[in-house]
Amino acid sequence: MARSISYITGSQLLSLKRRPSIAVVDVRDDERSCDAHIAGSIHYASGTFSEKIPNLIQDVKGKDTLVFHCALSQVRGPSCARRFADYLAEIKEDVGIKNVLVLERGFNGWQASGRPVCRCNDIPCKGEKA
């Protein structure tokens, strides 16, 4: 069963952000370290994303919703979300993830709207859970 990929607005994500069942996955490459990031997000660069999907599944254990984004969420964010959803369909194992979403307008839209960002260099980000 192929999972559908839906989009979520920054406002919707901000209102759901306190839920412990959501993980935000930043798939930007090097720009994450210079441009800041959504607080509490986890980083899986798009260039190496496919081979690290099993690690991502471990990192998001207990989450039921993953929100992917890149800078604009036009190419990397949606394509990584699709690869992740396809992987889940292939393994035919219930890992508890019910929703695979893409953040509309990506990180740039999030930041331009004045939403909170974190500038830490911690891996994983110890900022407020997103």
Catalytic residue positions?
70
Pairing of strands 117-118, 37-38: antiparallel
Half-sphere exposure of 92 (CA within 13 A, CB side): 0
By CB atoms closer than 10 A (0-12, 13-18, 19+), residue 48 is exposed
CA distance linking residue 45 with residue 82, whole number of Å: 15
